[in-house]
């Protein structure tokens, strides 16, 4: 049982940086900040999260399933997940080995960056 708790703890630390990125990018995408004033840094960062091209061919025909209430709910959910991740990382340092928790966070931060640098390509 102790092994499973530790495995869960360090696995959470490993994925924490990417989960925080997807939560934060989800917040700016809820309000469409990636489309403000044409392509900007948020537009390009959003392609990782959205999984499709940057622009619609005919934006006038776009359809959405969202509402202001759903947008508020998504922001609340994303903020809660960020807080939960922060608390989980704090618990990893408190109840686990601090150096292993730090190494897991570093690996979870740098491994995706390395994968992007090595395998990213132009469209």
What confidence tens digit (pLDDT) does each residue in 60-112 have? 554 444 567 877 776 787 888 888 888 888 888 888 888 999 999 999 999 99
Q: How far apart are CA 29 and CA 26, in angstroms?
A: 5
Selected residue with higher pLDDT from 20 and 39: 20
CA 101-79-99 angle, 5° bins: 5
| pTM check: above 0.75 | no
């Amino acid at each position: 049982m102790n092994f499973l708790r530790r495995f869960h703890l360090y696995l959470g630390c490993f994925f924490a940086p990417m989960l925080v990125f997807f939560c934060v990018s989800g917040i700016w995408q809820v309000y469409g900040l990636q489309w403000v004033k044409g392509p900007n840094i948020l537009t390009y960062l959003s392609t990782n999260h959205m999984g499709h091209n940057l622009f619609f061919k005919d934006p006038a025909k776009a359809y959405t399933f969202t509402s202001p209430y759903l947008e508020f709910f998504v922001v609340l959910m994303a903020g809660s997940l960020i807080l939960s991740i922060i608390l989980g990382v704090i618990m990893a340092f408190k109840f686990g080995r601090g150096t292993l928790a730090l190494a897991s966070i570093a690996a979870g931060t740098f491994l995706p960056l390395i994968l992007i640098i090595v395998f990213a390509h132009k469209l």
